[in-house]
Amino acid sequence: MKAAADAVAAADAESEMKAQAANSEALFIVDRIEGDFAVLFTEDGEHGFDLPVSLLPEGVSDGWHLRATFTRDVEAEQKKIAELTERRRRLAADDDGGDIVL
């Protein structure tokens, strides 16, 4: 019985990983460059944001259309969760539960 449950859990985990690996894509238009930042808008012009020019292709300028692909990085998430969990554990170990003295 446990082996069957483990097999189902493994299949569910594999399915979730495949779904998380799926990419989403978006088109952004460079409205202008302001110093070290590019002001980008979504294709429909409804949403804008600033992004460091250093993250964009060399020579980027006004009017460029940039296609971006977003992929969830589950491994990076798990690593960060583990780091934060360890940090909380260390902080809790040093906390005697008393009042803070300033």
- Looking at residue 93, its pLDDT comes to 87
Sorted by sequence, the CB contacts under 8 Å of residue 65 that are 6+ apart come out as 27, 28, 29, 30
What are the pLDDT digits (tens) for 43-65? 999 999 999 999 999 999 999 99
Report d(CA 9, CA 83) in Å as an integer: 25
Fold of 24-94: OB fold (Dihydrolipoamide Acetyltransferase, E2P) (2.40.50)
Question: In whole angstroms, how far apart are CA 71 and each of 58, 84, 97?
Answer: 22, 22, 41
Triad 42, 47, 52: Cα angle to 5°: 75
Mean pLDDT score, 8-15: 62
List residues bridging with 59 in a β-sheet.
none
